Structure 1
Amino acid sequence: MTQRPQPDDRFRIRTLRRWYAVSWVVLGLCPPLVSVLDETGTARFWWSSALLAVIALCWAVVVALPGNRVLRPYTFLAVLALGLGGLAWARGDGAALFIVSLPHFWLLAGNPRNAIALSGAAAAATVAGITVHRDGDPDLLTGNIVFTLIGYTAGVLLGLGVARIVEQSDERARRLSVELENAQRRLLDAHRLQGATEERERLAREIHDTLAQGFASIIVLAEAARASLDTDPGRAAQQLLSIENTARDNFAEARVLVGSAPQGGLAPGSVSGTLRRTLDRFTEDTGLIVTAELPEVECDQPTRIALLRCAQESLANVRKHAAATTVDVVLALDAYGVELEITDDGRGFVVEDSRGFGLNGMRKRLAELGGELTVTSSVGDGTRVLAVIPVNGRV
């Protein structure tokens, strides 16, 4: 896996190369040109000027057209090595220009092996050019050869050190990239698992609040109808009709859960009308006394569904556990939002000891809408369930 330079890294690399290019022109190419200006017209002047012009032109083409197929960086490095040798032959020196030009080989050669080989070829060409030159001071010529060899050796050591540092940095960057990808993959798996878990919880809550409650009602009604067949056929017929209606409702809810019917499970309408129909069915099935205050309240479909599910769960608990005789239901809209309060006069229970799925499901359903559920009860004193959901910007 190759670690690509980031935009900031590429900007810094380009900046460094520009600064080096300026330094190379000022400290490398200009001094030889200036030194031969007083020899205008001589062969040394023309040779030096021509070689410097070729090196500069070749470098300019490589920099301006880095992707061209005619003049690649290796071609420039070869021209540079030959040019360094030619200038050393024409001028009798060349160590300074060679040392200033060394970074080109490490920047453009592509890898340390090629950089060492090409810069070695340039060092050899420079030394050969100085050796062939006949007009200079022998001590000066020897000094240039020594400095060329020292510069080459130092350049190799420094280049290998920098290459090692860069390699280690790239390796760390690759490891960090792999660790980041692994962390992202684990995070994605965790999110996927969390999503699946939340979806299972949602389906479990929907099944509990709809199908399970419906089947529980069917069982209770069926037992009552069987007991009334001989003593009260009319009552038994009414209970059978309730079983049929409940089964139809369960079938509709099942179609919603499997996705073959529109989401929501409820026909559009007011929340008070929906609650009224639910209470009428409850009264018809149980025979309990139900008093209700259900004014018209404006709310959206999710709020209406949440209030209905809370009412269904509370009424189911009254039927199964409360042994109540009366149930009071109050729907109201106040400064905090829409409130649904359901109170019964049953046996009550200890709220802290309750571990039922229904209460937790109601709390989670209301929490998804920013609301909350409050349950107040004690043994022998009945139960009060209060659901509050913010509506129309109320907090």
Structure 2
Amino acid sequence: MLQRPRDGDPFWIWMLHWWDILSWAVIGLMFLLTALADLPGAVKYGSLALLALLALSYTTVRRMPGNSVRGGYAHLIVLLVALGGLSYLRDGYGVLYTLALPQFVIFVDELRAAIILSGLGATAITLGATLRQGWGTEHLTTNTVSSLAVYAVSVLMALLTPRALAARDERVKLRADLETAQLGLAEAHRLRGAAEERERLAREIHDTLAQGFASIIVLAEAARSGLETEPARSARQLRSIEQTARENFAEARVLVGAAPQSGLTPGSFAATLRRTLDRFTEDTGLTVVADLAEVECDQPTRIALLRCAQESLANVRKHAAASTVDVVLAPRPYGVELEITDDGRGFAVEQARGFGLGGMRKRLAELGGELSVTSSVGDGTRVLALIPVNGEA
């Protein structure tokens, strides 16, 4: 059964809809004129009864859940009876067949049923008019020709409607496909955002908490082994453990949203980096040669540079077996550079595995920067971090 048209439906579907509405406006006018007309009682009340029955049937089937197809066929039977009866009762009521043509399309679910039932409608008005006028050749011929002409229009309507419905259904399918694609795209964006957030958290945990815990473990092992022989050194290491634990606690609060920002306080970034290097020297005993210039940069850049420094120093402590580390922080025309070089055992960069270097590269890339790592076995390692400042390339 044809549903009520929606926005975007083809013109033909809307035309059927408004034709149907217009037909009921005319039927209502005919009901009013018949009620006011001076007609024989049987003709008047019979016509009014058939018109009322037709309106009641139409209203009932339209209110059925889903506009039941079975109810639609029942209404068309009532329509056929009303057409035949009205044509028999009074001249001029045959026009109802023309007005009712959309109903033969609206209330069926296949083309053949629409053609057959509209043909029965033409037969009903022809028989009704002929019974009223008599079976003379002239009346029968006139009624038959006029009914066939209207029936031809009905057949054309039945043929065109499926094409319009097919166009409508194709448009509905395209709209549904578009909505599905949009939902899929939104879900992909959501999943991508969740993956990026997980990666960000993993990088933050690796660069802060994991490095801090690794430092605590190394310091705790050293302090335990030197409690009896080097108590002063063990005391310093215990203080470093305490300080590292406090810093880890602060970073943990940042990660869970209980603190407003990372551990970098406003002020000189060179001074902050200097404190980090001093802690590294105290914890490891390695020589650190630092050339730290004052640089102007925003908080995200400061955090990224500090994390790169912490990760590089952690790698020196865990893997390099170095004796000296050189650190250079310098402003450049194109941005800020941080260079960390050690004289350790080095490694094959292309064979490097692990989260640290990849995490540093992604952190810098988010700010438009890049990371360069130069090393070979036996020749130490050079890490160069570059971040553009003020939109410079």
C-alpha separation between the residues in 2 aligned to 1:255 and 1:141?
96
C-alpha separation between the residues in 2 aligned to 1:9 and 1:297?
64
* Structure 1, gaps ≥5 residues long: 25-73
Q: Would you say the 8 A contact 2:87–2:129 is kept in 1?
A: yes
Equivalent residue number for residue 375 of structure 1: 373
Q: 1:161 aligns with which of 137, 141, 159?
A: 159
Cα deviation code 1:170-227 (max 9, x no counterpart): 5545555555555444444433333332222222111111111111111221222223
Q: 1:120 to 1:301 in 2, by over 3 A?
A: farther
C-alpha separation between the residues in 2 aligned to 1:128 and 1:11?
34
Kindly report the root-mean-square deviation, in angstroms, between the aligned alpha carbons of the 2 structures. 4.6
Equivalent residue number for residue 142 of structure 1: 141
**Residue 299 of structure 1 aligns to a residue in which SS?**
coil
C-alpha separation between the residues in 2 aligned to 1:274 and 1:295?
12
Equivalent residue number for residue 389 of structure 1: 387
Cα deviation code 1:313-350 (max 9, x no counterpart): 00101111111122121222223222211111111111
Q: What TM-score comes out, normalization by structure 1 length? A: 0.69
Q: Would you say the 8 A contact 2:104–2:117 is kept in 1?
A: no
C-alpha separation between the residues in 1 aligned to 2:258 and 2:246?
15
Listed as ranges, the matches of 1:55-74 within 5 Å are none
Listed as ranges, the matches of 1:83-98 within 5 Å are 89=91
Equivalent residue number for residue 332 of structure 1: 330
Equivalent residue number for residue 302 of structure 1: 300
Q: Would you say the 8 A contact 1:3–1:170 is kept in 2?
A: no
Equivalent residue number for residue 342 of structure 2: 344
Listed as ranges, the matches of 1:1-395 within 5 Å are 7-9=7-9, 89=91, 105=103, 121=121, 124-125=124-125, 128-129=128-129, 132=132, 142-143=141-142, 145-149=144-148, 151-152=150-151, 154-173=152-171, 175-176=173-174, 179-395=177-393
C-alpha separation between the residues in 2 aligned to 1:295 and 1:379?
31
In structure 1, what residue type is equivalent to 2:246? R
Q: Would you say the 8 A contact 1:208–1:358 is kept in 2?
A: yes
Cα deviation code 1:361-394 (max 9, x no counterpart): 1111111112111111111211111111122121
C-alpha separation between the residues in 2 aligned to 1:194 and 1:311?
29
**Residue 331 of structure 1 aligns to a residue in which SS?**
strand
Q: Would you say the 8 A contact 2:10–2:168 is kept in 1?
A: no
Shift of 1:163: 3.5
Cα deviation code 1:128-167 (max 9, x no counterpart): 4477569xx9658615523423531x34433333343344
C-alpha separation between the residues in 1 aligned to 2:194 and 2:350?
29
Q: 1:13 to 1:298 in 2, by over 3 A?
A: farther
Q: Would you say the 8 A contact 1:123–1:148 is kept in 2?
A: yes
**Alignment identity in percent?**
61
Q: 1:186 to 1:393 in 2, by over 3 A?
A: closer
In structure 1, what residue type is equivalent to 2:335? G
**Residue 267 of structure 1 aligns to a residue in which SS?**
coil
Shift of 1:284: 1.5
Q: 1:5 to 1:105 in 2, by over 3 A?
A: closer
Shift of 1:11: 7.2
Q: 1:241 to 1:169 in 2, by over 3 A?
A: same
In structure 2, what residue type is equivalent to 1:247? A
**Residue 226 of structure 1 aligns to a residue in which SS?**
helix
**Residue 242 of structure 2 aligns to a residue in which SS?**
helix
C-alpha separation between the residues in 1 aligned to 2:261 and 2:139?
93
Shift of 1:16: 9.5
Q: 1:295 to 1:115 in 2, by over 3 A?
A: farther
Q: Which shifted more, 302-311 or 166-175?
A: 166-175
C-alpha separation between the residues in 2 aligned to 1:306 and 1:191?
26
C-alpha separation between the residues in 2 aligned to 1:4 and 1:340?
70
Q: 1:240 to 1:90 in 2, by over 3 A?
A: closer
C-alpha separation between the residues in 2 aligned to 1:351 and 1:4?
69
Cα deviation code 1:223-282 (max 9, x no counterpart): 222233233222221111111111111111112222222243432333222212111111
